[in-house]
Amino acid sequence: MINKDLQSRKNAATPRGVGVMCDFYAARAENAELWDIEGRRFIDFASGIAVNNVGHRHPKIVAAIRKQLDEGFIHTAYQIVPYASYVELAERINRLAPGSQPKKTAFFTTGAEAVENAIKIARAATGRSGVIAFNGGFHGRTMMGMALTGKVAPYKIGFGPFPAETYHAPYPYELHGISVEEALDGIAQRFKADIDPQRVAAFIFEPVQGEGGFYMAPPEFVRGLRALCDQHGILLIADEIQTGFARTGKLFAMQHYDAEADLMTIAKSLAGGMPLSGVVGRADLMDAPQPGGLGGTYAGNPLAIAAAHAVLDVIAEENLSARAANLGAQLKERLASIKARLPQLADVRGPGSMVAAEFIDPKTGAPDPVFTKQVQTRALERGLILLICGVHSNVIRFLFPLTIQQTIFDEGLAILEDVLTVDATAHA
User: Domain map of the chain by residue range?
Assistant: 3-54+318-427, 62-317
Please give the pLDDT value at position 424: 59
Distances, alpha carbon 165 to alpha carbons 76, 129, 149, 161, 392, in Å: 37, 7, 13, 12, 26
Whole-angstrom distance, CA of residue 295 vs CA of residue 78: 8
What is the rounded end-to-end Cα distance, in angstroms, of the chain? 37
Among 351, 284, 247, CA closest to 99: 284
State the Cα angle at 200 between 267 and 149, rounded to 5°: 40
| Among the ranges given (53-62, 134-143, 230-239, 416-425), the one the predictor scored with the smallest mean pLDDT | 416-425
- Amino acid at site 142: T
Model pLDDT for residues 309-321, shown as the tens digit of each residue: 999 999 999 999 9
- Measured in whole angstroms, the distance separating CA 234 from the mean position of its chain's CA atoms is 24
CB 303 within 8 A of CB 83: no
**pLDDT for res 426:** 56
- According to CATH, what is the number of the domain 62-317? 3.40.640.10
Looking at the chain, the whole-number percentage of residues with pLDDT higher than 90 is 96
427: pLDDT strictly greater than 70: no
Long-range (24+ apart) CB contacts under 8 A made by 374-382 are 374/424, 374/427, 375/419, 375/420, 375/424, 378/419, 378/423, 378/427, 379/415, 379/416, 379/419, 380/22, 380/42, 382/415, 382/418, 382/419
The rounded distance, in Å, linking the Cα atoms of 96 and 108 is 18
| Separation between Cα atoms, residue 427 and residue 378, nearest integer Å | 10
CB atoms within 10 A of CB 178: 17
One of 3.90.1150.10, 3.30.360.10, 3.90.440.10, 2.40.390.10 is the CATH number of 3-54+318-427, namely 3.90.1150.10
Distance CA 84, CA 351 (A): 35
Q: Determine how many CB atoms are found less than 10 A away from the CB of residue 333.
A: 12
Average pLDDT, the chain: 96
Question: Phi and psi of 178, rounded to 5°?
Answer: -105, 110
Q: What is the pLDDT of residue 422?
A: 76
* Confidence band of 175 (pLDDT split at 50, 70, 90): confident
Distance of alpha carbon 171 from alpha carbon 169, whole angstroms? 7
Residue 99's CB is within 10 A of a number of other CB atoms, namely 19
Instruction: Specify the pTM.
Output: 0.96
Which pLDDT band holds residue 423 (cuts at 50, 70, 90)? low
The answer to whether the CB of 257 falls within 8 A of the CB of 37 is: no
